[in-house]
Amino acid sequence: MTKKKISFGILIFLLSAATVLCGYKIYSELYARNREKQDFKKIVSLITADENDDSESDESQAEKKRNLKALFSQNSDCIGWIYIPGTAINYPVMHTSSNPQKYLRQDFYGNYSQSGVPFLDSRCNLKSTNLIIYGHNMRNGTMFSDVKNYANATFKKAHPVIEFETANGIYKFNVIDVKITDTTDKKYNEIYSENDRFLTLSTCYGNQESGRILVTAKEEIQ
């Protein structure tokens, strides 16, 4: 066998191996994403009451049928639920003050997850007057992907309310500010407010690793 034939055979082998490896990576990623979606469906079913009642709109059902006690019993790190009507944002919120980024790459059940779970800033608690919640901007449209759309004035007008539910009830916040910024922004240190109570959502934005979008909402007076 000539050196030319040997080199060609090696090239074919390497290309085949690269194709198999690439295919495996794609399969693994799709499998992981599907598993994460199924896990969140399981969580939603855990907190949702009888869905056979069609007498109310989907949004009304989403507001009235959550059973967070079932969620809290499954994972004590869970402190509430965040929901923005008309978007894909409908997730549990975690909080681990001693391990700030525990749920950055971990799912609700403790498994590795590319999506993670939205989590409250470790410096905050449920009594804080500025609740900063982080979530990934996933390319598949899940997690806080829709937060980036608040940069569009039309989207902001169509989705003005953010709901945050805890064991004490549902709190509604009206979006008042959208800011394209980065991780060095001083707003990340504004944990307290003297008068009103705010909710701030943070996710990645743009092509820079440090790029962020911050959506700030003010609590409605009950």
Assign residue 199 the CATH number of its domain.
2.40.260.10
Q: For residue 120, is it within any domain?
A: yes
Asked if residue 34 belongs to a domain, the reply is no
pTM of the model: 0.79
Give the model confidence (pLDDT) of 99-133 as tens digits: 999 999 999 999 999 899 999 999 999 999 999 99
User: Considering the domain boundaries, does residue 7 fall inside one?
Assistant: no
Task: Give how far Cα 87 sits from Cα of 30, 90, 108, 143, 156, Å.
Answer: 22, 8, 21, 10, 11
Question: In this structure, is residue 29 part of a structural domain?
Answer: no
In whole angstroms, what is the distance from residue 82 CA to residue 17 CA? 44
Q: Which domain holds residue 175?
A: 76-219
What was the pLDDT predicted at 52? 43
Q: Is residue 107 part of a domain?
A: yes
Tally of domains within the chain: 1
Residues of the chain with pLDDT under 70: 1-35, 37, 49-65, 222
With respect to residue 110, please indicate whether it lies within any of the assigned structural domains. yes
Alpha helix (H) ranges present in the chain? 3-47, 58-64, 68-74, 153-158
